[in-house]
A and B are shown apart, each in its own frame.
Chain A
Amino acid sequence: MVKLRARCILVGDASVGKSALAQMFRSDGAHFQKNYSMTAGVELVVKSVNIPESSDSVELFIFDSAGKETFVEACEKLWGQPSVLCLVFDVSSEASFRSCSLWLERVRAHCQGLQVPGVLVGNKSDLSSRREVETAVAQEWAQNQGLEYHETSAKEMENCDAPFLSLAQAFYALYQDRLQTIQTLA
């Protein structure tokens, strides 16, 4: 039995629903904040995820980071060396999708060349009539960046756990892979 620990950097433009997503995940869907309250710094959300068909788990330390430009520089100082990345945009905002490459660049600058598993999350999938980013477009971009794509609705409690579970699993797979390498060394 092993419990891994992963530093999960949660980024994306302001008001795309990063905190809502993190809180839904933390509370198992019990807590959706209806009123918007802007994250000014970094909020830490910690939750353990069990890896299916094993007695192992990954404890995610989610660094829910302010999306507002004014705060970004201060937030970056708290990221440290990221283990995994969760990049969020709002499917009803083309602008928030366009920002994703900048966010990715910012986080990668902290990764020191390490392989960092990541997901792209299109949130607010409930706003179908106001959708500005098609699933296929987001999916293709994610794939080109080596990210796994997920669509969620924090408001409708739709699919909110999936991105985090997939990150935990990817990090666990990385651990298994490294173990194998190290075993062949000695």
Chain B
Amino acid sequence: MIDAALSSSGTRVVLATSGDENYPPENIIDGNTETFWISTGMFPQEFILRFSDPLKIKLLTIHSYNVKNLKIEKSASSDATDFDTLSEKEFEHTEGHLQANDFSLTGTTATHLRFIITSGYDHFVSVHRVAIEGVYQ
């Protein structure tokens, strides 16, 4: 199945609370776990993805490092408002390799997804890739 979160499928990052210009949030949706976005201090941190069309999601996978608590919210509106909580998870701490976590979100249709990192295992956390199995409506 095609990864619907890729920037090449029209997905955009419309907000990110941290910005090191060498590690832009677009790295999250380039399909590559070698490139990443890094937070630049303090929590919470968040980023919002916008899809080109309403997306019916099956499975979401996120590759990250040092993220402790992550909350995912969705919006079905066209202007990134009215977010509802979809899922919340405490990630396990990994050392020497990335965290890989799946979220089974079958039946969810969204125009935007908001990822809120409420705490980390270090001062700085990185997100390498968000991949989504889904079908555009």
- Find residues 77-113 in chain B having any chain A CB closer than 8 Å to their own CB: 96-98
**B51 contacts the other chain (Cβ, under 8 Å)?**
no
In-complex Cβ contact of B40 among A114, A175, A182, A186 (8 A): A175
**B131 contacts the other chain (Cβ, under 8 Å)?**
no
Instruction: Please choose the segment from A3-11, A123-131, A151-159 that sits at the chain B interface, where 4 or more of its residues have CB less than 8 A away.
Output: A3-11
Docked complex Cα distance between A186 and B124 (Å): 16
**A92 contacts the other chain (Cβ, under 8 Å)?**
no
- Chain B positions within 8 Å of A7 at CB level: 41-42
Tell me, rounded to whole Å, the shortest Cβ–Cβ distance linking B65 to chain A: 6
In-complex Cβ contact of A4 among B23, B34, B35, B40 (8 A): B40
B124 touches A178 (CB 8 A): yes
| With A178-B122, A185-B65, A186-B128: A2-B33 Cβ-Cβ less than 8 Å | no
Docked complex Cα distance between A1 and B98 (Å): 25
Q: What is the interface of chain B mostly: helix, strand, loop, or mixed?
A: loop
**A61 contacts the other chain (Cβ, under 8 Å)?**
yes
- Chain B positions within 8 Å of A182 at CB level: 36, 38, 65, 126
- Chain A positions within 8 Å of B22 at CB level: 2
How many interface residues does chain B have, given as a range? 20 to 34
Docked complex Cα distance between A174 and B124 (Å): 9
**B19 contacts the other chain (Cβ, under 8 Å)?**
yes
- Find residues 123-168 in chain A having any chain B CB closer than 8 Å to their own CB: none
Q: What is the interface of chain A mostly: helix, strand, loop, or mixed?
A: mixed
- Chain B positions within 8 Å of A15 at CB level: none
B43 touches A81 (CB 8 A): yes
A171 touches B41 (CB 8 A): yes
In the complex, how many residue pairs between chain A and chain B have their CB atoms under 8 Å apart?
57
How many interface residues does chain A have, given as a range? 20 to 34
A5 touches B34 (CB 8 A): no
Tell me, rounded to whole Å, the shortest Cβ–Cβ distance linking A47 to chain B: 14
Tell me, rounded to whole Å, the shortest Cβ–Cβ distance linking A35 to chain B: 33
- Chain B positions within 8 Å of A4 at CB level: 40-41
In-complex Cβ contact of A179 among B34, B35, B38, B42 (8 A): B38
Which of B43, B98, B123 has the largest number of chain A CB atoms within 10 A? B123
B98 touches A175 (CB 8 A): no
Some 27 contacts from A to B, beta carbons below 8 A apart, are A2-B19, A2-B20, A2-B21, A2-B22, A2-B40, A3-B40, A4-B40, A4-B41, A5-B40, A7-B41, A7-B42, A58-B41, A80-B43, A174-B123, A174-B124, A175-B41, A178-B38, A178-B123, A179-B124, A182-B36, A182-B38, A182-B65, A182-B126, A185-B96, A186-B33, A186-B34, A186-B36
Interface residues of B (CB under 8 A from A): 19-23, 33-36, 38, 40-43, 65, 96-98, 119, 122-124, 126, 128
